[in-house]
Structure 1
């Protein structure tokens, strides 16, 4: 069946090629998921072992399964290394799933939390919290981060919606870059004026060093709710990624799907920024890599993106520690070194359709 446009209704029908792609690759998806999970477990073990004080894997095993509080190595592992590694896993998974949902809903290959103003919105809100509400609890910062993520996304989509011919990938990316730059500049001004630059410098550098168990305890319910909702709408996002007209023609409630999708993005990105700061490009790279491997069915893209996103950030955190010892390189720098060339490649390859 060829793609045709109904002159009266203005609806487009689904082509055979698009319908075939929508089936996904179940066997490949399982292989990717299991392989990624194995690599993730290995990388977590390496992350816990490596650092200023290198600890062998046997000690790591003993600390995890037979913890002895009077052993210094066990204390380092339990209090510092494990929370940090788990935080990298959660943050990477959150950003990757957020990026996948954004790209699916907007049909924009350049969409990601860092490019669409969501990350900068969270960081801006955290700057406000430090300036006007010093001593805010971690749960309070998490709430501020959620609100900022929603604000950033809302501003970008409103600006993009007023542009001529609607939201094209480049216009959405430009709106995101402009809003992100504005929010970042406002955050810097607030930090300097209220003398909280040192407090928020961590959020802009990006990293999971110093993560405590309280952070992990708050991330777990966010993961359960966010990933649960993402999987719940995964089939609908697959249909929506083929075009809104197609989705409506199949009886899908696109407004409900988009509302839940935005809620998931705000929830996951807000939590990620509250813990890891402004770490960019994870939500851009991983969804593209996952779609290349498993196809365009979001029932497979979402879980595989979560595993591969966690793997990427755990490896980036290891690289941040090992690149210039004994000093640490911000994780955001590592992901940017990978993400900027990838972003330029996507922008260049998609220039004719924008």
Structure 2
């Protein structure tokens, strides 16, 4: 898996990963070969490709004891934001694509998911509970502006008066305030905005196509002004690189109107570990050993420990210290660790086309 399909001299513009090694399920590896032909510079640029998938299902269920929800929807596979630390990168291996550069350049949109979701919500056996969006890849990544798959999902959930929780770094969420504000007023919506750092340089290096930190704070302000309850998600905190920013981020989010806050330490599952270490060696070679040493202290000597109850925040003295810092900071700022629960009692599937009084004709 050490070889990849990146050509010598190939240009990267605002990309997180610098390699494209084959996924763990591949029987063969590929290696780029320069045949000597001179390729114009603009043709060497790695561009975003979007493929379309006809979804057969919309809602994904889970039984994880670490998660506060049991169902989610993913409008997209892969994410153009290109965050080098993204725990979802390994999912691209299921598609015979690389968790490296493929994850942020070979994307899959799922148009038509709204109709599938509508059908699933109308099933007689369906019982409403909060649906989470943005738990794997960001539903408001740049391609949403064109494909509008997230908008499809929101229109259906709004029509059914179904509770939902959104996690995003994307400012495109402001486009949908016409749907989100009324849902929030009815107790059907909460939003988490992720702020990893206030440092523009660090942000651009590790999450290259995410809006600037100040712009995300502005999104918090605009959402809260529209009546949408917002939680700031300080995630991931990277030991020795960004963890000193916990309190300043919480302060800035509070000033922008956030009501609640949460945090998670850096997670490096499967292929993410090697991608992150390569990125760290390139951009912060003077801190690489310290950062990875601290990460391993958090995870029992390993790059990552996937055990329930430990994978999000780690264990040991550094994890305990971060918990204490967080508790002290939110108490001082008047933030809460959770937003109020959402309502499920308003759930009502709308009349289907050609139906009267709730009965199909």
Q: Which range, TM-score by smaller chain? A: under 0.3
Greater RCO, 1 or 2 (C-alpha within 8 Å, sep 6+):
1
More strand by share: 2
Query: TM-score, structure 1 length as denominator?
Result: 0.24
Query: TM-score, structure 2 length as denominator?
Result: 0.24
More helix by share: 1
